[in-house]
């Protein structure tokens, strides 16, 4: 079964945590990371915390094979550091065609006043590398000697795993409204960030996608420039304990209350079959660490049900804390697990 996990707002919805949970709960055989190193996924597990910019968050499952999509872009220093930090040597593979970001790309973006000023880019060289790719100048994984032992045919591996009836998890990055096509242009990232784009980045056709899980946070955050409907002043953000610091840039995340209109549209743009909501414990402190739906405070349950009726897809996974295991999993009762 193939599942794609995508962000429903402006990124940082907690995809890393949801993917880590699913990799453990669903016996995921193969996980594929899409996107690039401008996205940081936080994984907390067994009392440790990781910030991943290249590897799939599914590394917490020691049996999962960790692949990087042909459409992804990585920096080699970041990749090797994360392999060491997660102890994932020997089970991380890149596609022949995965794009490699080099120092020159980072420098080019730092010199770009439009990107650093108006757009508020993370300046990780991703846009520059992406434009080189479009101009057919980017060097790919197959061009690097030090990657020789790690280069594979990712679409073929995914196809083979699906053929054997194994679970494959595709980890998208950023969020629907940072999409180059469907987001708040020009305050967007350098790629499409919806489910179809991630299928394409991996090299799997739409007919093989079984589930699309769109992840929302219980409130909306955004870093960098661009519109944020209902944005709260920083003092109010702190009063509500919604303060967050961006994983890659260390910038303070802007925040606004949950946006039903954007959520509904994200369900449409991704043809989501399920939704996950993270940080319910931040809206309802009594929900902290709860793992059963029936044990949630009444108000918290009511709010999730309101979201469900507004977005018209079931909320199957609910985050109640940063740890990968702090999840209420309603998939069985809602008829999703086969
Ligand atoms: P991008 O690909 O950059 O968009 O990242 P992401 O979607 O993986 O999210 P990121 O890890 O950057 O930010 C989410 C933050 O929320 C992290 O600090 C997580 O540890 C935290 N988090 C995720 N789920 C929960 C939850 O259910 N409760 C609490 N309290 N924290 C959570
Ligand atoms: Mg992030």
Look at residue 245 in the predicted model and tell me its pLDDT: 87
As a whole number of angstroms, the distance between CA 69 and CA 132 comes to 18
Residue of 39, 183, 322 to mutate, ligand 1, most atoms within 8 A of C-beta: 322
As a whole number of angstroms, the distance between CA 302 and CA 299 comes to 5
Q: Which alpha helices (DSSP H) does the chain contain, by range?
A: 15-25, 76-86, 103-110, 113, 126-134, 154-163, 195-202, 234-239, 260-270, 280-283, 298-311
- The pTM for the full model equals 0.97
Look at residue 338 in the predicted model and tell me its pLDDT: 60
Catalytic, out of 12, 26, 192, 281: 12
Quote the mean pLDDT of the chain: 97
H/E stretch holding 327 reads: strand 327-329
Say if residue 247's pLDDT is above 70.
Answer: yes
Banded model confidence at residue 120, pLDDT cuts 50, 70, 90: confident
Half-sphere exposure of 282 (CA within 13 A, CB side): 22
Strand partners, 281: none
Strand partners, 66: 31, 92
Among candidate residues 73, 91, 84, the one with its CA nearest the CA of residue 174: 73
| Atom number, ligand 1, closest to the C-alpha of residue 41 | 8
Banded model confidence at residue 249, pLDDT cuts 50, 70, 90: confident
Please compute the mean of the pLDDT values over residues 148-171 and round it to a whole number: 98
Residue of 7, 17, 285 to mutate, ligand 1, most atoms within 8 A of C-beta: 17
Give me 45's structure tokens.
Answer: 């597990």
Which tops the pLDDT comparison, 117 or 278?
Answer: 278
Asked if residue 187 lies in contact with residue 226, where contact means CB atoms within 8 angstroms, the answer is yes
Contacts of 117 (CB under 8 A, 6+ apart): none
């Amino acid at each position: 079964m193939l599942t794609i996990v995508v962000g429903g707002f402006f990124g940082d919805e907690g995809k890393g945590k949801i993917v880590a949970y699913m990799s453990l709960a669903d016996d995921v055989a193969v996980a594929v990371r899409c996107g690039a190193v401008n996205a940081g996924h936080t994984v907390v597990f067994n009392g440790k915390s990781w910030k991943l910019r290249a590897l799939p968050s599914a590394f917490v499952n020691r049996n999962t094979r960790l692949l990087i999509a042909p459409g992804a872009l990585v920096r080699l220093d970041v990749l090797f550091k994360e392999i060491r930090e997660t102890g994932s040597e020997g089970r991380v593979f890149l596609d022949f065609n995965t794009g490699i970001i080099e120092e020159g790309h980072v420098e080019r973006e730092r010199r770009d006043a439009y990107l650093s000023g108006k757009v508020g880019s993370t300046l990780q060289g991703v846009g520059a590398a992406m434009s080189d790719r479009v101009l057919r100048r980017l060097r790919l994984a197959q061009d690097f000697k030090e990657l020789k032992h790690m280069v594979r045919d990712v679409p073929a591996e995914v196809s083979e795993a699906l053929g054997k009836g194994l679970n494959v998890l595709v980890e998208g990055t950023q969020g629907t409204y940072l999409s180059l096509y469907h987001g708040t242009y020009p305050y967007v990232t350098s790629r499409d960030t919806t489910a179809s784009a991630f299928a394409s980045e991996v090299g799997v056709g739409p007919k093989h996608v079984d589930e699309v899980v769109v992840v929302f946070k219980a409130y909306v955050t955004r870093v960098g420039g661009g519109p944020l409907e209902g944005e709260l002043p920083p003092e109010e953000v702190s009063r509500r304990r919604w303060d967050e610091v961006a994983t890659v840039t260390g910038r303070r995340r802007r925040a606004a209350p949950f946006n039903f209109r954007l959520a509904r549209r994200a369900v449409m743009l991704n043809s989501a079959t399920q939704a996950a909501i993270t940080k319910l414990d931040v809206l309802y402190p009594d929900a902290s660490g709860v793992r059963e739906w029936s044990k949630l405070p009444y108000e918290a349950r009511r709010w999730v049900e309101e979201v469900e009726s507004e977005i018209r897809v079931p909320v199957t996974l609910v985050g109640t804390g940063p740890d990968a295991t702090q999840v209420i999993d309603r998939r069985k009762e809602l008829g999703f697990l086969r």
